[in-house]
Amino acid sequence: MKPLKKMLELSRQFRVDKGKGFRLKDFDPADTGGLKAGFKNEAQTLLQQGVEQLATLQDKLYAQDRWSLLLIFQAMDAAGKDGTIKHVMSGVNPQGVQVYSFKQPSSEELDHDYLWRCIRCLPERGRIGIFNRSYYEEALVVKVHSEAILATEKLPDELISKRIWKERYEDMSALELHLARNGTKVCKFFLHVSKEEQKRRFLARLEEPAKNWKFSPADVKERQCWDDYQDAYEEAIRATAKKHAPWYVVPADHKWFTRLVVSAAVIDVMLEMNLDYPKLAPGMRELLQRSKDELESEP
Ligand code: ATP
Ligand code: MG
């Protein structure tokens, strides 16, 4: 099988585009899709090919200026969001990509509905937008710590009920359907790391001076809510995985495999767009030929 085809098929194992019945425990964070650890070097070559393929597709996306692509990354701390974004997007023209990280909302952001800050950052036509965290936090961290956080969101009391999470999933799905119907492909990644691997990575951040800056004591506190987060992810994915806005539940215990799957998934989604360079308008070919003749006949 050709390497690209193999990569695409591999990534489809982790695609969830019908949320009903989704169970996180059916997905193993240490999965390497049957590829052995010895495959790591080959994976590097494949990833490099993926990076080149992505660069070509992005060039067409930009030139065609019709579609846009929104890639959403969600994960527990240390699952590798930053590194994955860095490696997978390493070959693309920076002019065509916009990356936004969403942290705790500012007071200006809290003066608006929660989708507002994300909608302002949606990719223009021809561009790839990357959300490092997103409006999904509103049904993840906000749900896990609802008592502490919901009250800060300045919602009218009457609008806060037990139904709020279901309503949020509906609204996020509605936004994604609207985007799909208007030329923005939405693709969501949950980098699925195990609790043991997170501990190993935290310890590495504590032990290696060059990694100390990545560590925050708050991360260990969030880890105490691990099971609540896993439940929140499962419920969010179940409610919002759709054909027009799939989730990829990407095994994240082995970074080389995470990057391979994400790279293949992005290529797969872009191939669905049938991207190509714009066709020349009638008469343009003659004009181009005339310009060429002019240039060539310069003294
Ligand atoms: P890294 O730790 O790799 O730098 P990060 O994405 O974890 O990246 P942090 O600054 O550590 O960035 O954390 C951002 C925090 O903001 C996360 O804990 C996240 O849950 C929180 N956050 C994001 N969106 C919201 C939101 N809408 N409401 C409350 N908290 C949010
Ligand atoms: Mg963090």
Tell me how far CA of residue 259 lies from CA of 11, 45, 144, 254, 271, in angstroms. 10, 12, 28, 9, 18
Kindly state the average pLDDT of the residues 224-235. 98
Burial class (CB in 10 A: 0-12, 13-18, 19+), 91: middle
Cβ pair 122, 183 in contact under 8 A: no
Tell how far the Cα of 80 is from the centroid of ligand 2, in angstroms.
Answer: 11
pLDDT at residue 275 in the model: 97
Alpha-carbon torsion, ordered 115, 120, 125, 126, to 10 deg: -100
Residue 230, helix vs strand vs coil: helix
Q: Name the token pair of 257.
A: 């495999």
As a whole number of angstroms, the distance between CA 75 and CA 107 comes to 25
Atom 16 of ligand 1, nearest CA residue: 103
Atom 30 of ligand 1, nearest CA residue: 104
**Model pLDDT for residues 152-164, shown as the tens digit of each residue:** 999 999 999 999 9
| Mean of the per-residue pLDDT values of the chain | 95
Tell how far the Cα of 152 is from the centroid of ligand 1, in angstroms.
Answer: 16
Pocket test for ligand 1, best of 137, 211, 213, 228 (most atoms within 8 A of CB): 137
**Model pLDDT for residues 193-205, shown as the tens digit of each residue:** 999 999 999 999 9
As a whole number of angstroms, the distance between CA 230 and CA 245 comes to 20
As a whole number of angstroms, the distance between CA 14 and CA 16 comes to 6
The letter for the amino acid at 179 is: L
Atom 29 of ligand 1, nearest CA residue: 104
Pocket test for ligand 1, best of 119, 133, 149, 168 (most atoms within 8 A of CB): 133
Kindly state the average pLDDT of the residues 120-133. 98
Kindly state the average pLDDT of the residues 217-221. 94
Atom 28 of ligand 1, nearest CA residue: 104
pLDDT at residue 1 in the model: 63
Pocket test for ligand 1, best of 72, 108, 141, 226 (most atoms within 8 A of CB): 141
Tell how far the Cα of 80 is from the centroid of ligand 1, in angstroms.
Answer: 14
Is 216 touching ligand 1 by the criterion CB < 6 Å?
A: yes
pLDDT at residue 111 is higher than 70: yes
**Model pLDDT for residues 52-80, shown as the tens digit of each residue:** 999 999 999 999 999 999 999 999 999 99
End-to-end CA distance of the chain: 54
pLDDT at residue 26 is higher than 80: yes
Is 82 touching ligand 1 by the criterion CB < 6 Å?
A: yes
Tell me how far CA of residue 284 lies from CA of 288, 291, 294, in angstroms. 6, 11, 15
The letter for the amino acid at 231 is: D
DSSP code at position 163: T
pLDDT at residue 35 in the model: 81
pLDDT at residue 124 in the model: 98
Q: In what order do the strands lie in the sheet with 247-251?
A: 15-16, 247-251, 184-192, 68-75, 128-132, 97-101
Tell me how far CA of residue 298 lies from CA of 215, 285, 289, 290, 291, in angstroms. 62, 20, 14, 13, 11
**Residue 270 CB partners (closer than 8 Å, separation 6+):** 54, 57, 58, 61, 69, 185
Is 153 touching ligand 1 by the criterion CB < 6 Å?
A: no
Kindly state the average pLDDT of the residues 113-142. 98
Backbone φ and ψ of 193, nearest 5°: -100, 150
Tell how far the Cα of 212 is from the centroid of ligand 2, in angstroms.
Answer: 13
Kindly state the average pLDDT of the residues 100-124. 98
pLDDT band at 86 (very low <50, low <70, confident <90, very high): very high
Tell how far the Cα of 77 is from the centroid of ligand 2, in angstroms.
Answer: 5
Q: Name the token pair of 218.
A: 């708050």
DSSP code at position 33: T
Kindly state the average pLDDT of the residues 119-128. 98
**Model pLDDT for residues 31-43, shown as the tens digit of each residue:** 998 887 677 788 8
- Asked whether the whole model's pTM tops 0.85, one would answer yes
Kindly state the average pLDDT of the residues 100-105. 98
Neighbour tally for 88: CB within 10 Å: 26
